[in-house]
């Protein structure tokens, strides 16, 4: 992307209905500022108006659903679009006088910050249909995971109200289908005792056969630990049963969604490449591919690692030198996906396992060692995606051994 060719930077403070735009030339001349409706004709008119002063570059502060129309119009006009993250925006605003938080000021900060730091911004690529579908499906999966976590926490709180011992024993197992089946039918200590060990074990066995005997024993031990019936047990039981039903529906929807994500992921040519690398299944692979997007926008694996927040940050001040600490920024969705993939690889891939053990021997803790593995794999992942070549675990076997 030729950033030197941009003559006008248009900062757009995004909103659902009406955006606010500020146009500034590369020499700092303010051309215009105005409200822009979030519809095709208005966005096209904005680009045409700014284009009268030179080639245009748009700068936005969000990439969610409200920005999709603007991105599509910009792609059709071949207008580059830069994305300023929320953290970058807050830090940039502090560089300018005043503390006001208004749409005109935000749009002006976006435009002026971009013209001064064009080479440091994240310039968005034109996404293909499959990548957009992956991002939408990943977002929905994240929403469902959040909902499941909320329901589990509420259910465990309700279980504490009837039997703390039962919650300690079983609360962490509510993700198991067989356990949900039991508490969907018998949600209180009294009803569990009435059901008996055999019926409980048989219900668990239908969908969680490996846990049937162990979980049944844990439930019974918890029942033996508390013989007292707490107030409003029946009402709490109705709440638990209702929450278990909600959780079961959420988990079923996530299972269906995982199948759709896998189909879309494997339909993409780069998905078929990425899945050959140990650690990348449908969810982690889809998340990684959707967040990386066009691999050619990263010149090196170091750039990809920095974008993901996997590269260490140097700290040198006063007497302290040669210190580095974990980078807290970057794309957290990509970082989490690559961390999970690296963790799986340390369990199953000999090369990743050896590198992990090496870092542990050097004194790094578990998470730090896994992040080192993820950082090391950035170069490999980027090369695979750019060349569209599957992973070859035997790529070093025919090379001469260095003296």
Per-domain residue ranges of the chain: 3-124, 135-261, 270-387
Strand-pair partners of 56? 8
Instruction: Write the CA distances from 355 to 154, 250, 362, 392, integer angstroms.
Output: 41, 38, 11, 18
Judging by DSSP bridges, how do beta strands 56-60 and 81-83 pair with one another?
parallel
pTM above threshold 0.85: no
Kindly report the CA angle at 209 between 205 and 211, in degrees rounded to 5? 100
Is there a contact between 287 and 331 (Cβ–Cβ < 8 Å)?
no
Tokens of 238: 């109705």
Strand-pair partners of 314? 324
Closest CA to 387 of 284, 304, 274: 274
Q: State the DSSP code for 402.
A: P
pLDDT at 395: 58
Q: What is the CATH number of domain 3-124?
A: 3.30.420.10
pLDDT at 399: 36
Calpha distance 178→71 (Å, rounded) = 46
Is there a contact between 297 and 123 (Cβ–Cβ < 8 Å)?
yes
For 401, counting Cβ atoms within 10 Å of its Cβ (0-12 exposed, 13-18 middle, 19+ buried), the class is exposed
Closest CA to 230 of 161, 134, 305: 161
Calpha distance 225→260 (Å, rounded) = 45
Helix (H, G, I), strand (E, B) or coil at 280: coil
pLDDT at 84: 86
The string over 254-274, giving b where at least 16 C-beta atoms fall within 10 Å of a residue's C-beta and e elsewhere, is beebbeebbebbeebebbebb
Q: In which residue are the tokens 């005997």 written?
A: 213
DSSP secondary structure of 118-152: GGGSEEEP---HHHHHHHHHHHHHHHHHHHHHHHH
Helix (H, G, I), strand (E, B) or coil at 60: strand
For 65, counting Cβ atoms within 10 Å of its Cβ (0-12 exposed, 13-18 middle, 19+ buried), the class is exposed
The string over 276-315, giving b where at least 16 C-beta atoms fall within 10 Å of a residue's C-beta and e elsewhere, is ebbbbebbbbbbbbbbbbebeebeebeebbbbbbbbeeee
Tokens of 66: 């409200």
Is there a contact between 59 and 11 (Cβ–Cβ < 8 Å)?
yes
Dihedral pair phi/psi, residue 20, rounded to 5°: -130, 130
Task: Note down pLDDT in tens along the chain; length 403 residues.
Answer: 567 789 999 999 998 889 999 999 999 999 999 999 999 999 999 999 999 999 999 999 888 788 889 988 998 898 999 888 777 888 888 888 877 889 999 999 999 999 998 887 878 765 668 888 888 899 899 999 999 999 999 999 999 999 999 999 999 999 999 999 999 999 999 999 999 999 999 999 999 999 999 999 999 999 999 999 999 999 999 999 999 999 999 999 999 999 999 999 999 989 999 999 999 988 899 999 988 888 888 888 988 998 888 887 766 666 655 566 666 677 888 999 999 999 999 999 999 999 999 999 999 999 999 999 999 999 999 999 999 999 887 654 443 333 2
pLDDT at 378: 93
């Amino acid at each position: 992307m030729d950033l030197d060719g941009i003559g006008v930077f248009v900062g757009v403070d995004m909103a659902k209905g009406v955006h606010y735009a500020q146009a500034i030339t590369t020499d700092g001349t303010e051309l215009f500022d105005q409200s822009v409706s979030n519809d095709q004709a208005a966005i096209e008119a904005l680009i045409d108006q700014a284009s009268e002063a030179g080639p245009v570059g748009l700068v936005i502060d969000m990439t969610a659903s409200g920005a999709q129309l603007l991105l599509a119009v910009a792609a059709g006009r071949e207008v580059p679009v830069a994305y300023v993250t929320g953290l970058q925006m807050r830090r940039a605003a502090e560089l300018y006088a005043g503390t006001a938080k208004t749409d005109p000021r935000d749009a002006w900060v976006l435009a002026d910050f971009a013209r001064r730091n064009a080479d440091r911004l994240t310039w968005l690529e034109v996404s293909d249909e499959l990548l957009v579908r992956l991002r939408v499906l990943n977002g929905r999966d994240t929403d469902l995971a959040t909902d499941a976590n909320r329901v589990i926490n509420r259910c465990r709180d309700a279980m504490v109200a009837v039997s703390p011992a039962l919650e300690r024993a079983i609360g962490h197992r509510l993700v198991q289908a067989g356990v949900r089946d039991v508490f969907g039918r018998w949600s209180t200590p009294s009803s569990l005792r009435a059901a008996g060990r055999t019926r409980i074990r048989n219900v668990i066995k239908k969908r969680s056969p490996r846990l049937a005997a162990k979980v049944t024993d844990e439930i019974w031990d918890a029942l033996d630990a508390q013989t007292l019936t707490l107030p409003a047990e029946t009402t709490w039981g109705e709440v638990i049963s209702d929450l278990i039903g909600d959780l079961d529906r959420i988990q079923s929807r996530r299972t269906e969604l995982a199948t759709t994500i896998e189909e879309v992921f494997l339909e993409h040519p780069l998905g078929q490449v990425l899945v050959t690398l140990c650690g990348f299944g449908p969810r982690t692979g889809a998340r990684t591919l959707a967040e990386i997007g066009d691999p050619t926008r990263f010149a090196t694996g170091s750039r990809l690692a920095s974008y993901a927040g996997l590269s260490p940050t140097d700290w040198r001040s006063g007497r302290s030198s040669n210190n580095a600490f974990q980078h807290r920024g970057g794309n957290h969705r990509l970082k989490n996906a690559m961390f999970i993939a690296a963790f799986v690889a340390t369990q199953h891939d000999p090369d990743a396992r050896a590198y992990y053990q090496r870092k542990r021997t050097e004194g790094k803790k578990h998470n730090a060692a896994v992040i080192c593995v993820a950082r090391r794999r950035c170069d490999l992942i980027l090369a695979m995606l750019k060349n569209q070549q599957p992973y070859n675990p035997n790529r070093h076997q025919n090379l001469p051994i260095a003296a």
